[in-house]
A and B are shown apart, each in its own frame.
Chain A
Amino acid sequence: MSEARTRITAFLLILKDLWNLGLLIVRNLQPVMVLAMAGLIAWAMLSRQPWPFSIEAESEHVSLLLAHDRETNWRIDGAQLCIRANAEALVLPVLEEPSLCPGPRWRAYDLREIDEVTLRLPAVPPEFAGYTASLDVEPDRSLAIQVSGKGIESLALLAGGSALPVPIGHNAIIRFPTPGKNKPPGRLLLPFSGAGTIGKDVSWRESTLLRRGSVALYTRSDEAAGGRELVASTELMPGDRVDLRQHARKDGVVTKGFIHFDLSEEFSEPPAMKIVAFGEAESIRILRFGEQSYSFSPGMLSRLTHHSAVSTWVVLIVSLLGFMAVYREGAEIGEGDFLERRRKFIARWHKFWSPQESSED
Chain B
Amino acid sequence: MQILPPTRILANIPVHIVLSTCVLVSAQAYSATPLRAELAGDFHETVQEDVAVSGSVVVGVAATSALSGEATLAGLVIPASEDSICLTVLSRDGVYFSRNTYRMPDGAMAGGGTLVVLPFDGTKERDLISHYPLGDLAVRASPVGCEQSSGTYLVATNGSEFDTIDVLVNAFGANAVYYRTADGAEADCDEFTEGRRTSYDYRCTIPVDVLGTGHRQLTIERERYGRPLGKVQIELQLGSAQ
Residue of A with least CB distance to B197: A201
Find chain A residues with CB under 8 A from B51 CB.
201-203, 289-290
Find chain A residues with CB under 8 A from B173 CB.
205-207
B57 to A: closest C-beta gap in Å: 10
Provide the A66-89 mask, 1 if CB < 8 A to any CB of B, else 0.
Answer: 000000000000000010000000
Q: Is B184 an interface residue (CB 8 A)?
A: no
Q: Is A173 an interface residue (CB 8 A)?
A: yes
Select the stretch in A97-105, A228-236, A251-259, A296-304 that faces chain B. A97-105
Residues of B160-196 contacting chain A, CB below 8 A: 170, 172-173, 175-176, 188, 191, 193-196
- How far apart are the CA atoms of A358 and B226 in the complex, in Å? 113
Residues of B200-225 contacting chain A, CB below 8 A: 223, 225
* A144 x B53 contact (CB < 8 A): no
Q: How many residue pairs bridge A and B at CB < 8 Å?
A: 69
Interface residues on A, range: 35 or more
A158 to B: closest C-beta gap in Å: 22
Residue of A with least CB distance to B170: A205
* B53 x A203 contact (CB < 8 A): yes
Q: Is B88 an interface residue (CB 8 A)?
A: no
* B172 x A106 contact (CB < 8 A): no
Find chain B residues with CB under 8 A from A338 CB.
none
Which of A82, A102, A103 has the most C-beta atoms of chain B within 10 angstroms of its own C-beta? A103
A90 to B: closest C-beta gap in Å: 16
- How far apart are the CA atoms of A106 and B228 in the complex, in Å? 11
With A63-B193, A201-B196, A290-B51 already in contact, the answer to whether A146 and B175 are too (CB < 8 A) is: yes
Q: Is A291 an interface residue (CB 8 A)?
A: yes
Find chain B residues with CB under 8 A from A204 CB.
53
- How far apart are the CA atoms of A183 and B198 in the complex, in Å? 41
Q: List 20 A-B contacts (CB under 8 A).
A: A100-B226, A101-B227, A103-B223, A103-B227, A104-B228, A108-B226, A132-B191, A132-B193, A134-B175, A136-B175, A138-B225, A195-B193, A203-B53, A205-B170, A205-B173, A206-B173, A207-B173, A290-B50, A292-B49, A292-B196
Q: A101-B226, A101-B227, A136-B225 are in contact. List 12 more A-B contacts (CB 8 A).
A: A100-B226, A144-B225, A146-B175, A173-B226, A201-B51, A203-B51, A203-B53, A204-B53, A205-B53, A206-B172, A290-B51, A293-B196
